[in-house]
């Protein structure tokens, strides 16, 4: 993923604005397909088959980079197959939720935190492997490697993942059919909270490197150091949050994470030295760990009979936040400057905290009836 912008702008000669449109369209298509499949998976579709097909579609999607050099054809091809591959990640979390339930291990948050820490490990190792592949084999090497990873995952799914076709869903199906997100503030509010938090995160991620080099006088080495500190701390913090989730509610942990995230953005707004940015990465790592590890349990616990749809809502909140953050963050930085983009992030977190307080008015019993 970090190399796609280079491939499109330098190899295919696509303008940066058009590359942004490409990302936006593929993300929106993936959101729509994920919601469509997520609800139907809770009505009895076999999750193993959905996950397997989605993974194979992702492999097919990346083969487009090897076979197609015309941007228009590639645009259509990638929109179709990346959208079909989008349900993969939310279905993985739904499968894990059902596996934990069947094992009589009730600490869902700890299981989700462990799974999210594996994703973070992938985010750390993936770009490193990609750097080696692109240095040795070029873009064909990195795209072939990505296809190989998806095919390996598909093989593991086929050989080892158990089918859920024997699950009894007669009672739950009525709840799934009657559920409407827009008519349900108890679920809509947490969904919007996660969108705001992810928008803040992606806005800051987009502008952090340029803020360091332009406002703080840092170097590219400083940018790499900042990213490494945050990434390295995320995994242990996720595991710690999984342990804390057995003592505190997900809403309390989300609120704590939001407050810490707000403190991070406030420090960046007033920062004038590189050491302040480096020290603040501890706060950012906690904030990212909360929205990544606790966020999905926050939604899943509100919809216990709809793990596929709940996981899809979480995944889509991240995708929508990424989309809005990329578009708005770049615009704010170009018009007002990089520091003001962090003020925007702080405002989003402040609104999130207010919404979390409001969401506390709804009792757990009412939420269970809704689910």
CB-based contact 262:353 (threshold 8 Å): yes
CB-based contact 46:164 (threshold 8 Å): yes
- 147 and 202 belong to one structural domain: no
When pLDDT is averaged across residues 9-18 and rounded to a whole number, the result is 77
pLDDT, one tens digit per residue, over 46-77 is 888 889 999 999 999 999 999 988 888 989 99
101-105, 153-157, 165-169, 233-237, range with the lowest pLDDT:
165-169
Quick one: tokens of 246?
Answer: 């057995």
- 154 and 41 belong to one structural domain: yes
- 214 and 112 belong to one structural domain: no
Is residue 310 over pLDDT 70?
yes
* pLDDT score for 231: 78
Quick one: tokens of 104?
Answer: 């009589």
Please state, in angstroms and rounded to a whole number, the distance separating the CA atoms of residues 81 and 60.
7
Is residue 210 over pLDDT 90?
no
When pLDDT is averaged across residues 254-270 and rounded to a whole number, the result is 93
Helices and strands in the chain, H and E counts: 15, 0
Is residue 255 over pLDDT 80?
yes
- 362 and 312 belong to one structural domain: yes
- 298 and 330 belong to one structural domain: yes
CB-based contact 44:68 (threshold 8 Å): no
Residue 182, number of CB atoms within 10 A of its CB: 7
Closest CA to 251 of 89, 144, 367, 348: 367
Is residue 173 over pLDDT 80?
no
CATH code, 187:
1.20.1250.20
Q: What's the total number of domains in the chain?
A: 2
How many alpha carbons fall within 13 Å on the CB side of residue 277?
A: 26
- 49 and 129 belong to one structural domain: yes
When pLDDT is averaged across residues 259-271 and rounded to a whole number, the result is 92
- 144 and 192 belong to one structural domain: no
DSSP string over 81-123: HHHHHTTHHHHHHHHHHHHHHHTT---HHHHHHHHHHHHHHHH
- 306 and 200 belong to one structural domain: yes
* pLDDT score for 116: 73
Domain boundary among 106, 141, 171: 171
DSSP string over 323-339: HHHHHHHHHHHHHH-HH
CATH code, 29:
1.20.1250
Give the residue with greater pLDDT, 77 vs 249.
77
Please state, in angstroms and rounded to a whole number, the distance separating the CA atoms of residues 144 and 137.
10
- 224 and 278 belong to one structural domain: yes
Please state, in angstroms and rounded to a whole number, the distance separating the CA atoms of residues 263 and 226.
17
Is residue 16 over pLDDT 70?
no
- 143 and 194 belong to one structural domain: no
1-5, 134-138, 284-288, range with the lowest pLDDT:
1-5
Distances (CA, A) of 314 to 9, 160, 187, 203, 261: 31, 26, 11, 18, 19
Identify the domain containing residue 160 by its residue range.
4-171
- 187 and 47 belong to one structural domain: no
Closest CA to 299 of 248, 254, 232: 254
- 119 and 163 belong to one structural domain: yes
pLDDT, one tens digit per residue, over 104-147 is 766 666 777 777 778 777 777 777 788 788 888 888 888 999 99
Quick one: tokens of 105?
Answer: 């291990």
* pLDDT score for 71: 86
Q: What is the CA radius of gyration of the chain?
A: 21
Residues 6+ apart with CB under 8 A from 93: 112, 115, 296, 300, 307, 311, 314, 315
Place of tokens 């307080």: 357
Residues 6+ apart with CB under 8 A from 114: 238, 239, 242
pLDDT, one tens digit per residue, over 327-358 is 787 777 777 777 888 999 999 999 999 999 88
CA distance between the termini of the chain: 36
Three-class SS of residue 351? helix
Quick one: tokens of 267?
Answer: 């420090």
Q: In terms of C-beta density within 10 A (0-12 exposed, 13-18 middle, 19 or more buried), how is residue 68 classed? A: middle
Domain boundary among 142, 171, 200: 171
Domain boundary among 171, 203, 237: 171
């Amino acid at each position: 993923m970090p190399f796609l912008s280079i491939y499109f702008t330098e190899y295919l000669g696509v303008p940066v604005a058009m590359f942004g449109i490409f990302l936006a369209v593929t993300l929106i298509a993936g959101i729509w397909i994920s919601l469509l499949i997520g609800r139907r998976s809770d009505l009895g579709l076999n999750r193993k088959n959905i996950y397997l097909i989605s993974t194979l579609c992702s492999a097919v999607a990346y083969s487009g980079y090897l076979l197609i050099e015309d941007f228009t054809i590639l645009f259509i091809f990638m929109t179709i197959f990346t959208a079909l591959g989008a349900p993969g990640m939310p279905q993985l979390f739904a499968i894990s939720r059902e596996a934990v339930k069947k094992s009589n291990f009730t600490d869902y948050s700890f299981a989700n935190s462990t799974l999210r820490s594996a994703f973070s490990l992938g985010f750390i190792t993936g770009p490193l492997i990609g750097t080696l592949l692109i240095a040795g084999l070029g873009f064909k090497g990195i795209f072939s490697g990505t296809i190989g990873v998806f095919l390996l995952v598909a093989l593991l799914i086929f050989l080892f993942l158990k089918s859920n076709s024997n699950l009894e869903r007669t009672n739950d199906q009525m709840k799934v059919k009657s559920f409407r997100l827009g008519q349900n503030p108890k679920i809509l509010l947490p969904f919007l909270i996660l969108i705001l938090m992810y928008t803040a995160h992606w806005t800051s991620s987009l502008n952090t490197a340029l803020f360091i080099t332009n406002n703080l006088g840092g170097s590219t080495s400083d940018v790499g150091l900042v990213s490494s500190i945050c990434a390295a701390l995320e995994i242990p913090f996720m595991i710690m949050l999984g342990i804390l989730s057995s003592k505190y509610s997900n809403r309390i942990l989300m609120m704590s994470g939001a407050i810490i995230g707000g403190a991070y953005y406030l420090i960046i707004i007033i920062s004038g030295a590189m050491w302040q940015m480096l020290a603040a990465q501890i706060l950012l790592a906690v904030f990212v760990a909360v929205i990544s590890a606790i966020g999905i349990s926050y939604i899943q616990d509100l919809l216990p009979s709809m793990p596929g749809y709940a996981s899809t809502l979480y995944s889509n909140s991240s995708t929508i936040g990424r989309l809005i953050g990329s578009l708005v963050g770049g615009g704010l930085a170009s018009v007002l400057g990089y520091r003001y983009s962090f003020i925007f992030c702080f405002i989003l977190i402040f609104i999130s905290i207010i919404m979390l307080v409001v969401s506390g008015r709804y009792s757990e019993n009412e939420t269970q009836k809704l689910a």
